[in-house]
Structure 1
């Protein structure tokens, strides 16, 4: 769904300078990693580099998790108010996570918002088990959906993107998935552009820092593991034109945002849209082979600062003058400049809650405590001494009470519930409308 976005004065100034120079000039990023810029409506590729190269998806995996969940809603198998339960498996996932203890309930609607904003790995498993019956069954649906959409270079092993050598995708396939989300679920477009959520007293900000910083940015998802580097699938709209940018393997969170901003700026230029690119998204070929491992680049001991999904929070969003995304052109317009604008908030933090519809609970009570359990006192109490020594039994009793204290029952491990048989995955997108065709243009 198109959203009209007006350029702020700073952007109008850049545009005027660009017209005076025949065209606003932005140069290629120097980083040798995949990127792709596509028109959402036509599927026309405006610019790409190694768009078919295999890559670890990291948390952009969650776009497929959301797709399969929304397909289940459209098919009537669940509703947005369907309650989901946090399992022990979900609670055991590595951060980033919400940290709810097993047994906690929440609605699918709240779970999806936490997934997209916090990129919560535990919530991805909650959704998978709640919709698929088990995580393997849900992952089977993810892979079936990828095949259905023509994502020939993609394979999933989990719903959250935590490291797995067999979990792989390409920039081409991610752009196909982004187009499918846009056209199959337009009623849920807000889910992908929420700038922050409020849960109890906490406000959690979206890791996609293009939102409310780049004019027209309206989605979708970031991702990071050491093996993948910093990934981003992003969308932006100006007037009736919507673009999809995919950046894989950037060396920093700031860098991936800046590169996406520059790609968008090129795509919104009238002259570049006429002469740049021309191939259709479907015509791009996936290369196959093993994914590139970025661990030695983004997680090495010599790295300045912290490598993490929320790196721009940890080390600040300041621009590195040594960034590979600085550009040399007659009119220097860098990603850093494009993201320095002060835009009004597109919406206040969206309220989410824990519990079922109509019965929210205090989220602080649902978060598993990290404090170690209190160890028993090694010294025997007076009551225990009295019980074992008749000579002091009467002295140990409280004078005003004759009530005996029963010894605590031994703690036993809870019985493990019987695992239900895995249901066969439902064929994906039975009622989904086909995507608009990708039109190659010269």
Structure 2
């Protein structure tokens, strides 16, 4: 009992410290999504590595392509070899897999899939380089003065940066310009062929009224979040960059939102904040301390047990929190420490939409890696990738512990042959056993030795 009391006391002290001692080193901003009034700002224009919150710009550019009639949400896109080479977090689809833009964007927001970010970029503009150019033109059009993008997923690059102010501008634009797609940002979990994929956003289901948007993490960036919440008729957006952990990121965002909802005073507009310039800091020593630099998906999430459809790792309890009401003055750390509610997963699939007869989008024929393409990574197991990751302060793991790739039934057509549709079957135990089953020997032709059968990734 004494031990329990001491533990409770230590948690309370930590929560109090989190509220009373502000994290002065980290940029943050809170803005009214409708009026654009800034309710809080701290180093909001300081350049920062965005990590996966980059994918909000990827979504904006993709939705704009739909608005301009260049493609539809049902347009299927081809996963290229370049996309498949991306390090985790990823879906792990093999080259030749088809995925619709609608499904790709949902996986992008929930799983934060680096491979599908490349797929979307190549599907929209034919190449990563062309898409990055469109990202930068869009940023300039929206008034994002502190941003420059070189890839669609936020993997480390020296000239890929943003600011808290710019991400708040982008978040407001997403809600204002594409209101019908607001549901992309609050999906608690996805279901793909029986596989459950939980959202990394730890505010969903914990902070009352939380309805988006996106988290991001690399060792160089620290833990970032663009958070959206609605209380009654008020819709606020908070951006927190460079937190040392996912829990502290969530706690600070919750505190900022709670304080802002309790106040109506502001300090001008996002556009009125003056840029400070400079280079983004490297948060490697803070964000990855104790993690040995592992770039793995679970660093994005502070929840030890994700609850989905009434089942969790601690006993399968069903529970719901808040119901969209006020949090009764709870501190951000208390909110960040709460268990998650049950999420009903949204179904996604791979392959074309039923009845689709239109074109398939993908990388332009003959597209090559440009000299300035900072995103075109070789496989994470190569010496080049490891060396580059180390330079960027973000060592890569060779495999995503959550990735369960789907196996192609038909291999992509040979060059010059009529293209075949790549069908997939779930990565089930049956599929695994089939993949491991011994293959019949290949009879050599003449003196040519038979090739060894390819292995499934």
TM-score higher than 0.5: yes
Is residue 174 of structure 1 aligned with residue 170 of structure 2?
no
**Corresponding residue number in structure 2 for 1:34:** 27
Is residue 337 of structure 1 aligned with residue 326 of structure 2?
no
Q: Residue 46 of structure 1: CA displacement?
A: 0.8
Task: Specify which of 87, 91, 100 is matched with residue 107 of structure 1.
Answer: 100
In structure 2, distance between residues paired with 1:303 and 1:158: 26
Is residue 81 of structure 1 aligned with residue 74 of structure 2?
yes
> Does the 8 Å contact 2:46/2:280 carry over to 1?
yes
Q: Residue 135 of structure 1: CA displacement?
A: 1.0
Counterpart secondary structure, 2:225? strand
Matches within 5 A, 1:416-431: none
Is residue 273 of structure 1 aligned with residue 302 of structure 2?
no
Once the two structures are superposed, residues 19-40 of structure 1 have per-residue CA deviations (whole angstroms, 9 ceiling, x without a partner) of xxxxxx9646234110111111
> Does the 8 Å contact 1:226/1:294 carry over to 2?
yes
Is residue 295 of structure 1 aligned with residue 292 of structure 2?
no
5+ long unaligned stretches in structure 1 = 1-24, 319-330, 385-404, 413-442
Q: Residue 279 of structure 1: CA displacement?
A: 1.9
Counterpart secondary structure, 1:168? coil
In structure 2, distance between residues paired with 1:373 and 1:185: 46
TM-score, length-normalised on structure 2? Answer: 0.69
TM-score, length-normalised on structure 1? Answer: 0.71
Q: Residue 408 of structure 1: CA displacement?
A: 8.0
Once the two structures are superposed, residues 91-143 of structure 1 have per-residue CA deviations (whole angstroms, 9 ceiling, x without a partner) of 00010000000000011110000000000000000000011011111111001
Query: Cα–Cα, structure 1 residues 341 and 297, in superposed 2: closer, same or farther, change >3 Å?
Result: closer
In structure 2, distance between residues paired with 1:317 and 1:266: 29
> Does the 8 Å contact 1:172/1:286 carry over to 2?
no
> Does the 8 Å contact 1:213/1:341 carry over to 2?
yes
Once the two structures are superposed, residues 277-296 of structure 1 have per-residue CA deviations (whole angstroms, 9 ceiling, x without a partner) of 32211101221111111011
Query: Cα–Cα, structure 1 residues 224 and 92, in superposed 2: closer, same or farther, change >3 Å?
Result: same
Is residue 285 of structure 1 aligned with residue 287 of structure 2?
no
Matches within 5 A, 1:129-168: 129-168=122-161
Rg (Cα) greater in structure: 1
> Does the 8 Å contact 2:190/2:347 carry over to 1?
yes
> Does the 8 Å contact 2:206/2:339 carry over to 1?
yes
In structure 1, distance between residues paired with 2:116 and 2:231: 33
Once the two structures are superposed, residues 251-304 of structure 1 have per-residue CA deviations (whole angstroms, 9 ceiling, x without a partner) of 0011111110111100111xx223xx322111012211111110111223x569
In structure 2, distance between residues paired with 1:263 and 1:223: 18
Task: Specify which of 310, 335, 360 is matched with residue 298 of structure 2.
Answer: 310
Paired residue total: 345
Matches within 5 A, 1:160-239: 160-239=153-232
In structure 1, distance between residues paired with 2:83 and 2:209: 35
**Corresponding residue number in structure 1 for 2:346:** 350
In structure 1, distance between residues paired with 2:451 and 2:207: 55
Is residue 242 of structure 1 aligned with residue 235 of structure 2?
yes
Counterpart secondary structure, 1:111? helix
**Corresponding residue number in structure 2 for 1:362:** 425
Matches within 5 A, 1:380-391: none
Q: Residue 348 of structure 1: CA displacement?
A: 1.5
Task: Specify which of 251, 262, 287 is matched with residue 258 of structure 1.
Answer: 251
Q: Residue 42 of structure 1: CA displacement?
A: 1.0
Query: Cα–Cα, structure 1 residues 291 and 317, in superposed 2: closer, same or farther, change >3 Å?
Result: farther
In structure 1, distance between residues paired with 2:302 and 2:253: 21
The runs of at least 4 aligned residues of structure 1 exceeding 6 Å deviation read 304-307, 371-377, 405-409
Q: Residue 342 of structure 1: CA displacement?
A: 6.5
In structure 2, distance between residues paired with 1:314 and 1:243: 23
> Does the 8 Å contact 1:85/1:104 carry over to 2?
yes
> Does the 8 Å contact 2:223/2:300 carry over to 1?
no
Counterpart secondary structure, 1:197? strand
Q: Residue 80 of structure 1: CA displacement?
A: 0.6
